[in-house]
Amino acid sequence: MILNLVKIFLPTTLAFFLGILITPVATHFFYKYKMWKRHSRGDVVSSDDFKKIHNRENELKTPRVGGIVVWVSVLVTTLCFFVVSILFPSDITFKMNFLSRNQTLIPFFTLLLGSLIGLADDLMQIYGTGKISHDDKSWRKTKALLVGLLSLLVAMWFFYKLGMHAIHIPFDGFWELGIFFIPIFIVVSLATFSGGVIDGIDGLSGGVLASIFSAYGAIAFANHQMDLAAFSGAVTGAILAFLWFNIPPARFYMGETGIMGLTITLATLAFLTDSVLILPIVALPLVITSLSVILQISYKKFTGGKKLFKLAPIHHHFEAIGWPSYKVTMRFWILSVVFAIIGIILAIISR
């Protein structure tokens, strides 16, 4: 038991301090090459409410690729433990290595590939021209397609290599899906990715995602999936390092290179821990955020342009009605912690 706890504690701590150490170098690089958006959201959003809460100058002078700190920290941490187990083989070093084929290889691959695709998107918005630099609707559809294709690859690995073809129903058992496991995995991944719009206020996404990944670390630990728990811990530590520099005033934003990799990896963790149906509870802030956008669009469509919220996503609605941004952020953090704990309890007692 103690060794298992150490196995989780060490990657979490190492990823955190690595993130803290590489941030000054990364920040210098981000600002030197002016890695921020060339076009503000306010340039295309005409809403007076949005312009009232939106700081255009900050958005156009703050780098948007801060997610690099997260996945680089996880990458280096994972490779450190792997290399040590190869160079200094022993029972302890093999135990500490958490890169394994049946537990962490896929989420590790998903995090890296998703983050690299997100980085390409960030760079196109930073240095690109035309519609891509404005992140227009057609380009957002293309991103969703890329997420769907990545999810298809992961789903096929789950189905054909790992033999996963069912999902766990809390308090009931398993629901056999057969080949339909693949499209359901894709839908869950896309739904999780859609919650990435939560990256809209300084400190918001980092605090929420840290709670969610720590919850999945606890669920994996309860399932005796120690490699997966250690990986989740490393991701949590890296996110907390990012959050250290993302609280107001943010030194950088997470960007797609953080959001895309993390949200798709989150879906992967949910399937690996047999807690897919618990995911909407653990990740409730993401669900609420994504749902608010869907409701806003649907309501405007069926009412001839009327709004359900002053602004969407919903965290901007709260800003528009007068809440300071720090109050919105902290209340979302509280919600994320509460529902992460509820999700952990449900995942454990529903077996």
pLDDT for 3-27, tens place per residue?
Answer: 899 999 999 999 999 999 999 999 9
Is 133's pLDDT higher than 90? Answer: no
pLDDT at 257: 94
Q: What is the pLDDT of residue 125?
A: 85
Indicate whether 56 pLDDT > 60: no
Instruction: Name the band, by pLDDT with cuts 50, 70 and 90, for residue 305.
Output: confident
Q: How far apart are CA 100 and CA 227, in angstroms?
A: 7
Of all residues in the chain, what percent carry a pLDDT higher than 70?
A: 92
For the ranges 54-63, 171-180, 216-225, 329-338, the lowest mean pLDDT is seen at 54-63
Q: Output 272-275 pairs: Cβ under 8 A, ≥24 positions apart.
A: 272/103, 272/106, 272/107, 272/220, 272/225, 272/228, 273/216, 273/219, 273/220, 273/223, 273/225, 273/228, 273/347, 274/167, 274/168, 274/174, 274/223, 275/168, 275/216, 275/219, 275/343, 275/347
Band of residue 348 on the pLDDT scale cut at 50, 70, 90: very high
Question: What DSSP character marks residue 250?
Answer: P
**For residues 228 and 221, what is the distance between their CA atoms, to the nearest angstrom?**
8
**8-17, 246-255, 277-286, 340-349: range with lowest mean pLDDT:** 246-255
In this prediction, residue 141 has a pLDDT band, given cuts at 50, 70 and 90, of: confident
pLDDT at 44 over 60: no
Does pLDDT of 186 surpass 60?
yes
CA dist., res. 330 & res. 203, Å (int): 9
pLDDT of residue 254: 93
Mean pLDDT, residues 118-126 taken together: 91
| pLDDT score for 224 | 95
Calculate the CA dihedral of residues 40, 43, 49, 54 and round it to 10 degrees: 20
User: Which CA distances in Å does 339 have to 50, 234, 274?
Assistant: 29, 21, 18
Q: What span, in angstroms and rounded, lies between the C-alpha atoms of 157 and 160?
A: 5
> What's the rounded mean pLDDT across residues 65-75?
97
Tokens of 307: 């709004």
The arithmetic mean of pLDDT across residues 153-157, rounded, is 94
211: tokens are 């709670």
Q: Which of 86-90, 141-145, 209-213, 255-259 has the lowest mean pLDDT?
A: 141-145
Q: In this model, does residue 108 exceed pLDDT 60? A: yes
Whether 51 has a pLDDT exceeding 70, the answer reads no
Average pLDDT over every residue of 54-68: 77
The pLDDT of residue 40 is above 90 = no
Cβ neighbours of residue 192 under 8 Å, at least 6 residues apart? 263, 264, 266, 267, 270, 279, 283, 286
319-326 average pLDDT score: 92
The phi, psi pair for 62, rounded to 5°, reads -120, 125
pLDDT of 128 reads 75
Percent of the chain's residues with pLDDT above 90: 75
**What letter does residue 83 receive in the DSSP assignment?**
H
The structure tokens listed for 162 are 């790992």
Tell me: pLDDT of 195 over 90. Answer: no
